[in-house]
Amino acid sequence: MAKFTNELMKWLGGGHSPWHTVDMAARWLTERGFEPLALNRPFSVHRGGRYFVENGTFLAAVTVGQKDVIRIAAAHTDWPCMRIKPQPELISGGCCRLSVEPYGGAILNTWLDRPLGLAGVVLLRTADPMQPERRLISWDEPVMVIPNVAIHMNREVNKGVPYKANVDMLPICRTVQGEFEKNGYLVRQLAKRLQVQPEDVLSFELCAYCCAEPTLLGFEKDLLSSPRLDNLSSVHACLQGLADAQGDGINVAVLYDNEEIGSNTRRGADSSTLTVILEKLALSLGLDRTALLDACLNGMLLSCDAAHAMHPNHPEYADFSCAPVLGGGVALKRSPRYSSDAETCAVIQGLCDANQIPLQIYMNRADLPGGSTVGSMASSLLAMPAADIGVPILAMHSACETMGAADQDAFVRLCTAFFQA
């Protein structure tokens, strides 16, 4: 097993929601000497210090060296899933179903017939209405399933069938026999698990998640199958690279939320949150605005997100020459939709050459535009040069995805080299 594969599997096994991913990150950083800073309080930082700012599903971790040059590695904490609606209970066919809204661009049919857990955050009543209590919650055992329709009743299923989110994607969570008060059933379950009164549950944000465990597979155990590779592989690489680097600048690992729905939120990459954090850091270090702007302009941003590997059964979807494969190393993503340009690509190639890191080039097939990520938005807000990198995976946005197990090692090593160059 590659050096960092086992560590990645721990993140994949625990990051059941963006809330849980950030909570894991905060605990992981604390164990490594990073001190928490409150976003809504003055910062007190010093050269040589390690800090992090957590804001629910957003986190920024910082190491402060002696040089006023800012290097940033950015990832995102969210992934396509089924979000539970308020007042979600529906009764049909002797079962209680929960109404959901697909979040992000999920491959819907991959969610069918899989044991599903439930995780997220619950907000509870306090004496101050402006300050509700935040509690994380997770059912680590399966509590739901979205059943398929049998082929006997849907003979066309293997020819490709469209799925209606409001009909086909509703998970069942229990059978209903006799009298059953459906209204408030989920809230009562939340209250029971948190040991509070149902009337004290003010709101929640919950996602159904695939309960499949991260698994090494293949005769050589060189493949890793898991939910949430996009994008917990990048969360791990950014944080591990930051913690391991011996850099002398101001290094930042930032974990955004809401990338899968466009990033246009206060915790997303298309916001001023990171700018606010950098300004508060600069003020605490005695830097004026000109020094902060120069530190950004002389720095660089890595946008870290999964890349598409060439599909063995469908190589026709890949570019003729710029198609990464599983096990071939980290991918440098080039496209007008990404933040990479010729100058930043040269930097990444040079870092990989100097550190013997395997590097592949990814470009979209010319008539398949592909997706976007946080790089272009974050780098344009900060006016920083940037490049997009990530591990190549198969079945992106499926309930379970597949990557080459050894590629995480190359990914972490590149993030480390970037921070300490």
Taking CB atoms within 8 Å and a gap of at least 24, the contacts of 4-7 are 4/236, 4/237, 4/240, 4/408, 4/409, 4/411, 4/412, 5/216, 5/224, 5/405, 5/406, 5/408, 5/409, 7/236, 7/240
Burial class (CB in 10 A: 0-12, 13-18, 19+), 164: exposed
Position 336 scores a pLDDT of 79
Tokens matching residue 69: 């040059």
Helix (H, G, I), strand (E, B) or coil at 260: helix
Q: How big is the CA angle at 208 (ends 206 and 214), to the nearest 5 degrees?
A: 125
Rounded to 10 degrees, the C-alpha dihedral 40/46/48/53 comes to 0
C-alpha distance from residue 147 to each of 91, 112, 169, 290, 400 (Å):
15, 6, 8, 58, 17
Give 176's contacts (C-beta < 8 A, 6+ positions apart): 91, 94, 95, 96, 182
Give 299's contacts (C-beta < 8 A, 6+ positions apart): 69, 70, 71, 72, 249, 250, 384
Task: Region of 407 please: left (phi>0), alpha (psi -120 to 50) or beta.
Answer: alpha
Q: Report the alpha-carbon distance of residue 258 to residue 263 in Å, rounded.
A: 5
Give 228's contacts (C-beta < 8 A, 6+ positions apart): 12, 15, 79, 209, 401
Are 139 and 207 a contacting pair, CB within 8 Å?
A: no
Are 77 and 21 a contacting pair, CB within 8 Å?
A: yes
DSSP 15: -
Instruction: Identify the segments of the chain with pLDDT beneath 70.
Output: 1
Q: Amino acid identity, residue 227?
A: P
Position 176 scores a pLDDT of 93
Tokens matching residue 226: 């898991």
Are 41 and 66 a contacting pair, CB within 8 Å?
A: no
Helix (H, G, I), strand (E, B) or coil at 190: helix
Residue among 361, 358, 356, 355 at smallest CA distance from 417: 355
Using the structure block, give the residue that is written with the tokens 């995976």: 393
Which residues face 215 on adjacent strands? 225
Q: Report the alpha-carbon distance of residue 50 to residue 65 in Å, rounded.
A: 9
Helix (H, G, I), strand (E, B) or coil at 352: helix
- pTM, two decimals, is 0.96
Residue 1's Cβ-side half-sphere holds a number of Cα atoms within 13 Å equal to 11
Tokens matching residue 144: 């739901």
The sign of the dihedral angle between the CA atoms of 163, 169, 170, 173 is positive
C-alpha distance from residue 350 to each of 28, 50, 240, 343 (Å):
30, 28, 21, 11
Tokens matching residue 92: 């049909």
